Amino acid sequence: MNHLTSRRHALKTMASGAALASVGLSLSNRVQAAENTLETSLKGKINHSVCRWCYADTSLEDLCKAAKNIGIASIELVGPEEWPMLKKYGLTSALPWGAGKGITEGFNDPKLHEELIASYEAVIPKVAAAGYDQIICFSGNRNGMDDEQGLKNCVPALQKLMKTAEKHKVTMVMELLNSKVNHPDYMCDHTAWGAELCKAVGSERFKLLYDIYHMQIMEGDVIRTIKDNQQYISHYHTGGVPGRNEIDDTQELYYPAIMKAIAETGFKGFVAQEFVPARQDKIASLKQGVQICDIA
């Protein structure tokens, strides 16, 4: 199962409430062992989050416990039905979801604007009421459309939503995804396109999710791109290249340098681990990822 399929499946399953009924004794034991050994003392320059879908075979409660023990403050890509569990453990959600039609059907299609506007207008107040200040959104696929037209198509619907977003102080965050490996035909696949869309929308409540894994695949030059576009970025995701697995020395990116560059921009938001653990002990891999990103 590829990443596109697995992410869609994980989000759909979790949204339905049917996932995670039982995780088995061995998994519980691994989580308990991790809780007994992980440390909460972090350096504080990076605010740490983790993407829920990467740990779909771990119960949300076990993931909350592990996150608290590691020092992760946020679990993201979770819908409203999962927010009470986060509150129980004193966690936030740096980037929740719960609106829209998914990755392939987004704001570049005018036929979807009415539905998308209604969807986000319904959810944004709930996000704010829960104490969160961002929500994810997507451009949609090209489907034969050129990038200039797609950008123009996105603007009116997003501008209409800015009144609601600004009122509730919730930022809509469009994800930059690669169209080379994981999300064929996705339109918002280069930082420059996303930055131009931010300029056109013209609100501080519309920003980009810079996914380091995806943008390394599409354009590289990660640190320079981050520094040049810092004003348009409100969130970051990690992932090892190639493969989207652990972010250690098995892959090509050097995450401590990237985190240092992010911190030097004055960024105060969250960096979320969105790699898919390849090792059996997934919680240990998560701890390692946080430690790699936890720069002095």
Per-residue pLDDT tens for 140-149? 999 999 999 9
Say how far apart CA 285 and CA 246 lie, in whole Å.
7
- Residue 140's identity, in one-letter code, is G
Q: What is the pLDDT of residues 185-229, one digit of tens each?
A: 999 999 999 999 999 999 999 999 999 999 999 999 999 999 999
Q: What angle do CA 115, 119, 124 make, to 5 degrees?
A: 150
As a whole number, the mean pLDDT across the chain is: 90
Question: How does residue 39 score in pLDDT terms, banded at 50, 70 and 90?
Answer: very low
CATH number of 3-293: 3.20.20.150
Say how far apart CA 254 and CA 222 lie, in whole Å.
10
Asked if residue 13 has pLDDT above 50, the reply is: no
Residue 40's pLDDT is: 55
Asked if residue 150 has pLDDT above 70, the reply is: yes
Higher pLDDT among residues 32 and 216, named by residue: 216
Asked if residue 6 has pLDDT above 80, the reply is: no
Residue 30's pLDDT is: 42
Q: What is the pLDDT of residues 75-105, one digit of tens each?
A: 999 999 999 999 999 999 999 999 999 999 9
Asked if residue 108 has pLDDT above 70, the reply is: yes
Q: Give me Rg for the CA atoms of the chain.
A: 18
Average pLDDT over residues 248-276: 98
Check residue 55 and report its DSSP letter: G
Residue 10's pLDDT is: 52
- Contact by Cβ (8 Å): 208, 198: yes
Every domain of the chain and the residues it spans: 3-293
Say how far apart CA 217 and CA 213 lie, in whole Å.
7
Asked if residue 1 has pLDDT above 70, the reply is: no
Q: What angle do CA 189, 192, 196 make, to 5 degrees?
A: 110
Helices (H), the chain: 3-16, 25-37, 60-70, 83-88, 113-129, 147-168, 191-201, 212-218, 222-228, 255-264, 282-293
Residue 24's pLDDT is: 34
Residue 203's pLDDT is: 98
Higher pLDDT among residues 122 and 33, named by residue: 122
Residue 41's pLDDT is: 82
Residue 7's pLDDT is: 57
- Name which of 11, 2, 3 is nearest 102 in CA terms: 11
Question: How does residue 158 score in pLDDT terms, banded at 50, 70 and 90?
Answer: very high
